[in-house]
């Protein structure tokens, strides 16, 4: 569904459920990270883009005199046909259903800023695959924040909005994530990747509009779960490496310095650090390659990124590796420049940089070979870099 179709669809769902037209419609995209994985919480660089898959909300103030008129937000999930009701007359806390916690966390963030949350009737849906490593949760958080901006008529600085959404993920979903996902969902720009320096939070839009290339997202359909402890463990290992090397974060360490300090680290922690330090460098070089439309070089950095995530950082899985192997077999001759796992790992998606003219044939081959290797049906789509969170109706 295009954003236009999705907008019409959620408006119709709102109308059906609440019996009137919505006053506001807002959307926030998911993302695919082209390169720079597990670098954000190490003060490094990331290079994501917003994808044409969105969390979208249609809303209106409740009807006067209704039970919700003063103190409640009702959120009707149009896809799963389930409603969450959140009491906003008191500080918002964790609650049920589970998915409402992403929304609750954001509402709490606004309350902490002294914002009086308005009562609302909301219809919600998302075309970002759940648990696919494409930041469905960040999209939901940023979408919620955008709705509050629309309904209060007060925009907040997009960087503060991203940080507020990240805090919701930390405190209400229990994932100690970095800042990448919420930043790209809030700040993405059509036709551009976002090079983000996670230390200074300085952003640079890198144009990606060469019609001869496309980015393919290949969902292994193996669900990933970042609250399972592996993510937090990787983060702790990076912090340990930085502490033992006597620096604030791994951003401060070069490959040579890591070699010199090898004796201070366990073999495992050394490998974790080697991935991060290499990946920060690869990301900067890949951004340069994209600026110059040097696609074969960008592709090589993507393959190298995958190898390090698989061997040193150990966040890949058999299905992600299978996709990358298939891509390598298709190779440059078949129209693939590079391929890697994207997002937190342990399942979810791969991203491939391909010749636009070969998108269909590559998609067919990957789907067939992946099914042969794993018995699973992959979901494959290509996306142009989309725009970040938007108010579509106000």
Binding interface with ligand GLA (CB under 6 A): 37-38, 40-41, 177-178, 180-181, 343-344
Looking only at the bridges linking them, the beta strands covering 349-355 and 336-342 are antiparallel
Pick between residue 11 and residue 274 the one whose CB is nearest to ligand GLA.
274
Q: Is 181 a catalytic residue?
A: yes
- Find the shortest distance in angstroms from Cβ 165 to ligand GLA: 11
| CA neighbor of 374 nearest in space, from 366, 363, 383, 362 | 366
| CA neighbor of 183 nearest in space, from 33, 377, 22 | 33
Q: Classify 269 as helix, strand or coil.
A: helix
- Find the shortest distance in angstroms from Cβ 371 to ligand GLA: 27
Pick between residue 137 and residue 146 the one whose CB is nearest to ligand GLA.
137
Query: Three-state SS across 26-49?
Result: EEEEEEEEEECCCCHHHCCEEEEE
| Element housing 381 (H / E) | strand 379-382
Asked if 33 and 180 touch (Cβ cutoff 8 Å), the reply is yes
> Catalytic residue among 43, 181, 312, 321, which?
181
- Find the shortest distance in angstroms from Cβ 71 to ligand GLA: 32
Pick between residue 178 and residue 188 the one whose CB is nearest to ligand GLA.
178
- Find the shortest distance in angstroms from Cβ 100 to ligand GLA: 19
Pick between residue 44 and residue 289 the one whose CB is nearest to ligand GLA.
44
- Find the shortest distance in angstroms from Cβ 116 to ligand GLA: 30
| CA neighbor of 300 nearest in space, from 290, 291, 310, 314 | 290
**Residues near 167 by Cβ (< 8 Å), separated by ≥ 6?**
105, 109
The upper half-sphere exposure of residue 3, i.e. CA atoms within 13 Å in the direction of its Cβ, equals 24
* Distance separating alpha carbons of residues 25 and 177, to the nearest angstrom: 28
Pick between residue 123 and residue 168 the one whose CB is nearest to ligand GLA.
168
Alpha helices in 92-157 (DSSP H): 100-112, 136-152
Residues known to be catalytic = 181
């Amino acid at each position: 569904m295009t954003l236009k179709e999705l907008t019409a669809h959620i408006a119709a769902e709102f109308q059906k459920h609440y019996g009137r037209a919505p006053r506001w419609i807002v959307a926030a995209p998911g993302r695919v990270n082209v390169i720079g994985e597990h670098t954000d919480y190490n003060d490094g660089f990331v290079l994501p883009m917003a994808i044409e898959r969105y969390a979208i909300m249609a809303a209106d103030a409740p009807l006067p005199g209704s039970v919700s008129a003063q103190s409640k937000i009702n959120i009707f999930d149009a896809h799963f046909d389930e409603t969450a009701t959140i009491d906003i007359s008191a500080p918002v806390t964790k609650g049920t259903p589970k998915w409402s916690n992403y929304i609750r966390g954001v509402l709490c963030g606004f309350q902490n800023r002294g914002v009086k949350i308005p009562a609302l009737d909301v219809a919600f849906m998302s075309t970002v695959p759940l648990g696919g490593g494409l930041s469905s949760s960040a999209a939901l958080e940023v979408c919620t924040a955008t709705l509050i901006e629309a309904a209060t008529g007060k925009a907040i600085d997009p960087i503060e909005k991203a940080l507020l959404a990240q805090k919701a993920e930390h405190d209400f979903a229990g994932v100690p994530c970095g800042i990448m996902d919420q930043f790209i969902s809030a700040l993405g720009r059509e036709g551009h990747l976002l090079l983000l320096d996670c230390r200074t939070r300085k952003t640079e839009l890198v144009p990606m509009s060469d019609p001869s290339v496309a980015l393919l997202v290949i969902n292994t359909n193996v669900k990933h779960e970042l609250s399972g402890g592996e993510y937090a463990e990787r983060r702790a290992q990076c912090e340990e490496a930085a502490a033992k090397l006597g620096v604030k974060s791994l951003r401060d360490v070069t490959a040579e310095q890591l070699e010199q300090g090898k004796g201070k680290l366990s073999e495992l922690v050394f490998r974790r650090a080697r991935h991060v330090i290499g990946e920060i460098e690869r990301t900067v070089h890949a951004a340069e390659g994209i600026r110059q439309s040097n696609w074969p070089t960008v592709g090589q950095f993507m393959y190298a990124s995958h190898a390090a995530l698989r061997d040193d950082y150990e966040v890949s899985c058999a299905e992600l590796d299978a996709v990358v192997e298939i891509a390598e077999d298709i190779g440059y001759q078949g129209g693939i420049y590079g391929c890697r796992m994207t997002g937190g790992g342990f399942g979810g998606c791969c991203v491939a940089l391909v010749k636009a003219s070969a998108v269909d044939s590559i998609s067919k081959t990957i789907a067939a070979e992946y099914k042969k290797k794993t018995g699973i049906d992959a979901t494959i789509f290509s996306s142009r870099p989309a725009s970040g969170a938007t108010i579509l109706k106000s």
